[in-house]
Structure 1
Amino acid sequence: MTSATHPAARTPATRDRYVDLLRVASLGTVIAGHWLMAVPDGDRITNVLAVVPILQPLTWLLQVMPLFFLVGGFAHATAWASIQRRGGGYADFVRTRTARLLRPAAVFLAVWLVLALGAALAGQDHGIVRVALRTVVQPLWFLGVYVGLVALAPVMSRLHRAFGVRVPVVLFAAAAVVDVLRFHGYAGIATLNLLLVWAAVHQLGYLYADGTLQRYGLPLAVGGMTALLVLTTAGPYPTSMVGVPGEAVSNMSPPTLALAAHAVWLTGLAMLLRGPATRRLARARVWRTVVAANGLAMTAFLWHLSAAFLLLAVFRSGIGGAPGTTWWWLTRPVWLAAAGAVTAVLVSAFRRFDTPGPTEIAPGASTARAATGTALCTLGVLGVSAVGYGGLLAGKTATLLVVPVTAPAALALLALGAILLRRRRTGAALCSDAVGPGRLSAPTP
């Protein structure tokens, strides 16, 4: 029997299995997209979308990170309600939600920190090595944003109960104002959209959890797509929904109103596909596959670029020659299979660090301590994602919000935040909801 057989068989009838599928599908698509976009160019890595611009419209389907934040909103709505029913509070919620994310991320960062120190001491921190040290941690930006949304989730839940759909509407409108200011000479304000856009998408997950979103799949898909077409043709936004080298504006970093429109249309599409997908997920074999993939998804995401760089260490010019050529397309399955195989090896080595722990309700846990710890973890992860590990001993810096930060400083923030989030074991827990191999929890993106 597979490791997924028992939890799959014990799935409650009330569980929304489609949420689990969206989580797996979104992370899997992001992983495959990164593998396809990365193009070696001497001692650097460029993006195939810059080399073959005609591929950029594909990002309207393949940029699925909004689905991950949608699922996150759903998961937080259900988890917060569950913890409240058992007498828990804010500290119990944020500690439980962040632990599952930060444990495997901490191991990943520690391994690459050792590699970065070794490369620096050996005088090899240059060329493709420095590119790898910079690039492998870059996707952690989403983890930093996500941890920040964990900190805000109970507050956003109250806002949802009070104002419903008006909350994401106001957040999207605020993001539009930020873009107007951005394009009129106030470029620094654009960073606000890192919170506004992703918080709005996350808030759509609350509407999914209460059953509202499912009724509006077609209007969301049509309205979002119409807005996206207008913004990218008549407006100042590029076609690609991911950053492309050489473009004056990135829709992704920081997010723009165009990415918000993309998130709306993609959410509508997901709702339209929910019915047929749910019927297929009722089949035991299909559901076991999703459960098994869910247990590996975060570890695979953390290590998938490491796998790509290991392959590039062997095949310095990549596999398939010049991007966009017939031979390049024909060899994409070979490249994807090779990257998948190396990632599978890394997943088997590190998956034990990505296991859900018990959900414990502790009396008297400090809300201020938990909020401070989560904020520091957010800043730490965003900081190390921004600066990377290249030039570690040379004091390389990057701007975190408006403050220059080094990798050691970012890691220190993360470590301090993790210490603050640890549960003080001065008393017995009121409740322990073990989430082990025989029990499914709410999805934890």
Structure 2
Amino acid sequence: MTASARDMAEATPAGRDRYVDLLRVAALGTVIGGHWLMAAVSTGGIGNLLAVVPGLQVLTWGLQIMPVFFFVGGFSHALSYRSLARRSDGRPVYADFLRARLRRLLRPTLVFVVVWAALALAVQLAGHGSGRLAGAALRMVTQPLWFIGIYLAMVAFTPPLLKLHERHGWAAFAGLFGAAVVVDVLRFALGVPYVEFLNFAFVWLAVHQLGFLRADGRIRRPALLAAAGLAGAALLVAYGPYPLSMVGMPGEKVSNMAPPTLALLCHGLWLVGAVQLLVGPAGAWLARPRVWRGVVAANGIAMTAFLWHLTAMLAVYGAQLALGIALPEPATAAWWAQVPVRILVAAALTGVLVALFRRFEAPPRPAAAPATAPTTAPTTAPGSGPRAAAGITLCLLGILGLSMTGLGGLLDGHSAVLIAVPVTAPAAIAMALGGWLLVERSGAARRVRLRG
């Protein structure tokens, strides 16, 4: 049985930072809206509006809001880990932390993967997977999973990086920032091959580290942070080898996203500073009961909506083709005229999919306390920490691999290179499922009798 949004809103502790919940919803909502807008589908295939109209790439300086989500993740992870540690009586809590943070993330993600894998297999067995639009759809529907893979890595690294933060504060962030600078110097100035992939860790973990600083109230000059980040990003784009777009563009030689660059890290700094400037006004707004219930409700379905929003968009375009409704060339007047209708229909279809799959994201309703004290209590089995670490490693590799391979080559052995190792979609799915099982079993409990 799951708790309702009203129940959770009314049970909100007085000290909860409601603004963080709003930022989480706003970040995922912005990504969803951006994907719906940027999809440039025509009879020739699926493209990117930002490539068709390069002048619109400046919009990514506001719409590329994933750094805010990772920043919020750092804040939440710090609070969650510390809470578990306080209640642990000195017992290692790594496995408990992983299970607690991953349960609501992995369940809806793996359901999405299994459902889409079954659909992709059926389409390919029927011989319809080689069409241009069908092939593009099967390839792109898993691409947003990259963010979940990166997020899993952040969860895994939280304990050691939190300890580093507690010891060194801003210097720990500066170390990650400096490492990202060194990587880009080696990449662009010295031409060192493959070094750029290290910035998948340094850039995103640096943004995540800012969340730790917020948790301790150490971001005291957000205006300075925003100005420095914006100026840094602008200078790097103007005078360096970095493109204007803060999202990946098809066919570009250098992407700010894959792998991440110093320009994207500066972009993240300015976004974090900017959202911190709005803490006061947002806090007063979120104090309204109706507003807060809406944020709680949206948080309860945000991950499900994110996972299924591309499915809804592809269904809209598929319906257009099936009904014989013309697909105008992207960025033409006729195309822009259809945009509001397509987005409204995609939003409605996403709502239907959320209604079907939200149960896999919903947290369980807390169980009632027993009338009498139990004679036994669970305790975590020895060695659960290493098992959890192995599980989350498999999960993140599987999810990242699937975001790269797509689902178009389930039957023909299509592979993509993940950390110098070729991986196929079936292997990626197996790694994700196997890793999730390991994380769940890392908490296998044994019963011990209580004294007294």
Normalising by structure 2, what TM-score?
A: 0.91
Between 1 and 2, higher relative CO (CA 8 Å, sep ≥ 6) is seen in: 1
Partner SS, residue 423 of structure 2: strand
Counterpart of 2:86, as a letter, is: R
Counterpart of 2:103, as a letter, is: A
1:220 equivalent to 2:225? Answer yes
Counterpart of 1:148, as a letter, is: A
| Cα distance in 2 between the residues matched to 1:429 and 1:162 | 36
**1:121-200 alignment to 2 at 5 Å?**
121-126=125-130, 127-183=132-188, 184-200=190-206
1:388 equivalent to 2:406? Answer yes
Change (3 A) 1:260 1:319: farther
Change (3 A) 1:339 1:162: same
Over aligned residues, Cα RMSD in angstroms? 2.0
Partner SS, residue 251 of structure 2: coil
Quote the residue 2:381 is aligned against: 364
Partner SS, residue 232 of structure 1: helix
Superimposed CA distance per residue, residues 188-245 of structure 1 (whole angstroms, 9 cap, x where no aligned partner): 11111111111000010000101112x1210011000100110111111000000112
Superimposed CA distance per residue, residues 110-134 of structure 1 (whole angstroms, 9 cap, x where no aligned partner): 0011011111111111121111111
Q: Bigger CA drift: 305-314 or 4-13? A: 4-13
1:353 equivalent to 2:353? Answer no
Q: Report the CA distance between 1:97 and its aligned residue.
A: 1.0
Q: Report the CA distance between 1:425 and its aligned residue.
A: 3.9
The correspondence for 1:101, drawn from 97, 101, 105, is 105
Change (3 A) 1:315 1:367: same
Counterpart of 2:417, as a letter, is: T
Change (3 A) 1:237 1:152: same
Change (3 A) 1:71 1:319: farther
Counterpart of 2:253, as a letter, is: A
Partner SS, residue 138 of structure 1: coil
1:61 equivalent to 2:62? Answer yes
Quote the residue 1:36 is aligned against: 37
State the 4+ residue runs in structure 1 displaced beyond 4 angstroms: 317-320, 357-361
Q: Report the CA distance between 1:310 and its aligned residue.
A: 0.7
Conservation of the 8 A alpha-carbon contact between 2:117 and 2:407: yes
Q: Bigger CA drift: 359-368 or 121-130? A: 359-368
1:417 equivalent to 2:424? Answer no
Superimposed CA distance per residue, residues 112-158 of structure 1 (whole angstroms, 9 cap, x where no aligned partner): 11011111111111121111111111100010111111111011110
Change (3 A) 1:237 1:192: same
Change (3 A) 1:264 1:319: farther
| Cα distance in 1 between the residues matched to 2:406 and 2:195 | 23
Change (3 A) 1:196 1:21: same
| Cα distance in 2 between the residues matched to 1:413 and 1:395 | 16
| Cα distance in 2 between the residues matched to 1:329 and 1:34 | 15
**Count of aligned residue pairs for this structure pair:** 428
| Cα distance in 2 between the residues matched to 1:79 and 1:421 | 17
Q: Report the CA distance between 1:20 and its aligned residue.
A: 0.2
Quote the residue 1:3 is aligned against: 4
Conservation of the 8 A alpha-carbon contact between 1:147 and 1:374: yes
| Cα distance in 2 between the residues matched to 1:429 and 1:225 | 56
Change (3 A) 1:234 1:21: same
The correspondence for 2:284, drawn from 279, 284, 288, is 279
Superimposed CA distance per residue, residues 411-434 of structure 1 (whole angstroms, 9 cap, x where no aligned partner): 12112212211235442499xxxx
Please list every run of 5 or more consecutive structure 2 residues that lacks an aligned counterpart in the other structure.
Answer: 368-376
Quote the residue 2:339 is aligned against: 332
Q: Report the CA distance between 1:3 and its aligned residue.
A: 3.3
| Cα distance in 1 between the residues matched to 2:282 and 2:117 | 41
> Which structure has the bigger radius of gyration?
2
Q: Report the CA distance between 1:329 and its aligned residue.
A: 3.4
Q: Bigger CA drift: 283-292 or 349-358? A: 349-358
Please list every run of 5 or more consecutive structure 1 residues that lacks an aligned counterpart in the other structure.
Answer: 431-445
Partner SS, residue 221 of structure 2: helix
Partner SS, residue 144 of structure 2: helix
Conservation of the 8 A alpha-carbon contact between 2:165 and 2:212: yes
Quote the residue 1:25 is aligned against: 26
Q: Report the CA distance between 1:328 and its aligned residue.
A: 3.5
| Cα distance in 2 between the residues matched to 1:340 and 1:120 | 28
Conservation of the 8 A alpha-carbon contact between 1:320 and 1:331: no
Partner SS, residue 40 of structure 2: strand
The correspondence for 2:425, drawn from 407, 427, 438, is 407
| Cα distance in 2 between the residues matched to 1:271 and 1:135 | 33
The correspondence for 1:303, drawn from 303, 308, 320, is 308
Change (3 A) 1:17 1:361: farther
Conservation of the 8 A alpha-carbon contact between 2:77 and 2:155: yes
